[in-house]
Structures are given as structure tokens and as C-alpha cells.
């Protein structure tokens, strides 16, 4: 088996790669280790090395050479770009909430990643990731945060390395790329759940406990600004949380096409493609969820009392902002 591991900073990439390598019986290879060696040789931090690499392409070329010369056969590689350079592999992206990532880094107490406070670690993690995204876009014209680069996305926030390794090695029925396995606790609801019938929710939980979570019906979700928003499957997510399930399967919703507010004071949203795989989130700063619009098209009356900018999400691609002028 050939596996490449990429993912968020602090998601446990090296630890999980080691676990996988031990199970497969191969040596784990890591470009993260190469980065740390390059930084140490220059007497700088990994964040400073990332910033230097934005203008010095020789750093990435040195790392790329190590990937392009890997042998055939079974292997496990931990690298942000191995999904692109190492052929015939199962490509994995590890996801983690930023504050959990920061806590892990603080607990690890690495000499090359010294932070005093949790907020400081969160800030520098975000800076490092921004630097990496900018660098790889510049040199390779790829977005390493586009989840569609990967075969599977696995949430490591609450899961042990052993559980994550098992999830990676276990086959599943997910058909779309990427297949996502997320903690139900990390899914952001977009509906008021107080009106859910408690008895029916319990019956659903009992059914899932007896028969397992139906992988042929993954939760429909939008991925925006490192968060997953539920479009379809609120009750099943609630049942999964009741049961304490470690992972639930997700399917990313395809991007929606948004049209600017019309003269009739309604916001028109249209959706291309298959109606059962579409949705759109409307958000207002600071990231306050307003509503999710179902396919195939709908009208949203703007009832806000002051001018602000709404953000229309384009999952796994980017975000587009348009102004919304309130009704006067």
C-alpha cells in the first residue's frame, strides 16, 4: 500500500504516518523533518523558513527532489506536496481544529516551535499556513487547502492516532472525492435544533447503533474558512453525537453560483448541476450564520437594518463577497 499524508499544522501528520508505516511494515518518510533540518541549519524557525521559501525556490526544490526519487512499492510519506509528486498513492488530508492544533504543539514543546501562550500558537499556526498556501500557489499553481486534491479527509481533533490509522486503512463506500470522515462534534448546524422531536431522534440513534451509519447517505456539508457547515443531515448528526460516534461520513457540496441583489429587494441565488448536491451559506461578519438556501433556487428577503457585506461561500474553492443594501 502507498499512502501520502498531508494536512493542517498540528493535525498529527508525523505521528499518524509513523503509526501507518508500522502497520504496513515500511519506513516512514517525512518532508517535515527535512524542513526542520533546513531551518536548524540556517539558525531560524520553521515559520521563518516558510517566509524565506516564499522568495527562495531552492528550498522547495530540495524538498521536491526527495519526493521524486522515492522507490516503487509500499510506502508512507508525510508531505504537503506528496499527493502531487508521488504516483499511485492513497492521498490523505488530516483536519484539526486550530485551538486543538495549538494545544498539541504547546504540549509537544518542540525546540523549533516555541510559544508562550495558546493564542500565540494559534496566531503563528495561521501565519505558517497562510505562508505555505501562498508559496505553493506561487511555485506550483496549486491550492493545498483545496480538499478535492485528496482521496480522503480525516478529522483528528478528538481521535487517537490509532483510530485515525484504522480509519485510513479501512475501506468505505464513499463515492465522491474527497471522502470525508469528520467528528460530528465539529459540524456546524445551520438549523434551529430545538424543534427536533426527541423521541424520533432517539429512535434514529437506536437505528444507527444497530445498523451502523449509512455510508451511502453521507452528510451534505459546505467547507468554508476551515469549518464544515451542515446542509443536509442535521438529525443524523444529532444522533451520532448522542451515540458518541468518532466519525461520520461527509460529502462536500459543489459550489453555488450567486447573483447580486435584484431590484425587487430579494437576493436571487441559483445553483448549477444536480439539485441534490447543492446549497449555499449566507454569512455576515463576524462569521455569524444567517441561513442555508436549499436547491435549486430560492429568494432570501434581506431584513438587516444596517449596511454590511454578506459572504457567499464557494466550498473548497474560495469565497466571494458582495455588498447587501438593506431595505429602507
DSSP state letters, 190-211:
-S--TTS-HHHHHHHHHHHHHH
d(CA 20, CA 191): 38
Backbone CA torsion sign across 148, 252, 247, 109: positive
Question: Does residue 121 surpass a pLDDT of 90?
Answer: no
Q: What confidence category does residue 237 fall into, taking pLDDT thresholds of 50, 70 and 90?
A: very high
d(CA 4, CA 30): 10
Question: Does residue 210 surpass a pLDDT of 50?
Answer: yes
Q: Which residue has the higher pLDDT, 120 or 251?
A: 251
Q: What confidence category does residue 160 fall into, taking pLDDT thresholds of 50, 70 and 90?
A: very high
Question: Does residue 320 surpass a pLDDT of 70?
Answer: no
Q: Residue 242, exposed/middle/buried by CB under 10 A (0-12, 13-18, 19+)?
A: middle
| Residue recorded with cell 482521496 | 151
Question: Does residue 190 surpass a pLDDT of 80?
Answer: no
The three-class DSSP label of residue 32 is helix
pLDDT confidence of residue 162? 97
Model-wide pTM > 0.75: no
User: Cβ neighbours of residue 292 under 8 Å, at least 6 residues apart?
Assistant: 190, 191, 222, 229, 231, 279, 280, 281, 282
Cell of 299: 429568494
Q: What confidence category does residue 114 fall into, taking pLDDT thresholds of 50, 70 and 90?
A: low
The three-class DSSP label of residue 180 is strand
pLDDT confidence of residue 96? 94
Question: Does residue 273 surpass a pLDDT of 70?
Answer: no
Q: What confidence category does residue 276 fall into, taking pLDDT thresholds of 50, 70 and 90?
A: very low
For 195-217, what is the mean pLDDT?
Answer: 93
Q: What confidence category does residue 292 fall into, taking pLDDT thresholds of 50, 70 and 90?
A: very low
pLDDT confidence of residue 223? 82
C-alpha distances in Å from residue 144, one per residue of 136, 247, 275: 7, 23, 28
Amino acid at each position: 500500500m502507498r499512502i501520502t499524508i498531508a494536512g493542517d499544522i498540528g493535525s498529527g501528520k508525523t505521528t499518524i504516518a509513523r503509526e501507518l508505516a508500522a502497520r504496513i511494515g515500511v519506513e516512514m518518510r517525512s518532508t517535515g523533518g527535512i524542513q526542520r533540518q533546513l531551518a536548524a541549519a540556517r539558525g531560524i524557525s520553521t515559520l521563518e523558513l516558510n517566509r524565506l521559501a516564499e522568495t527562495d525556490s531552492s528550498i522547495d526544490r530540495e524538498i521536491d527532489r526527495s519526493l521524486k526519487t522515492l522507490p516503487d512499492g509500499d510506502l508512507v510519506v508525510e508531505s504537503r506536496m506528496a499527493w502531487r509528486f508521488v504516483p499511485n498513492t492513497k492521498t490523505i488530508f488530516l483536519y484539526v481544529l486550530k485551538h486543538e492544533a495549538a494545544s498539541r504543539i504547546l504540549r509537544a514543546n518542540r525546540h523549533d516551535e516555541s510559544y508562550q501562550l495558546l493564542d500565540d500558537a494559534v496566531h503563528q499556526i495561521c501565519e505558517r499556513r497562510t505562508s505555505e498556501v501562498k508559496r505553493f500557489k506561487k511555485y506550483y499553481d496549486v491550492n493545498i487547502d483545496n480538499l478535492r486534491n485528496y482521496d480522503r479527509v480525516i478529522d483528528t481533533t478528538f481521535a487517537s492516532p490509532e483510530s485515525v490509522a484504522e480509519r485510513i486503512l479501512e475501506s468505505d463506500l464513499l463515492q465522491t472525492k474527497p471522502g470525508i470522515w469528520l467528528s460530528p462534534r465539529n459540524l456546524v448546524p445551520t438549523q434551529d435544533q430545538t424543534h427536533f422531536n426527541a423521541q424520533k431522534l432517539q429512535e434514529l440513534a437506536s437505528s444507527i447503533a444497530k445498523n451502523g451509519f449509512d455510508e451511502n447517505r453521507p452528510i451534505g456539508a459546505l467547507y468554508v474558512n476551515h469549518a464544515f457547515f451542515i446542509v443536509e443531515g442535521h438529525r443524523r448528526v444529532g444522533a451520532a453525537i448522542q451515540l458518541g460516534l468518532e466519525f461520520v461520513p461527509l460529502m462536500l457540496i459543489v459550489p453555488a453560483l450567486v447573483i447580486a441583489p435584484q431590484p425587487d429587494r430579494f437576493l436571487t441565488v441559483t445553483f448549477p448541476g444536480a439539485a441534490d448536491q447543492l446549497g449555499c451559506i449566507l454569512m455576515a461578519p463576524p462569521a455569524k450564520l444567517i441561513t442555508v438556501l436549499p436547491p435549486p433556487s430560492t429568494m432570501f428577503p434581506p431584513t438587516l437594518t444596517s449596511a454590511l457585506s454578506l459572504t457567499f461561500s464557494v466550498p473548497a474553492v474560495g469565497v466571494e463577497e458582495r455588498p447587501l443594501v438593506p431595505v429602507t
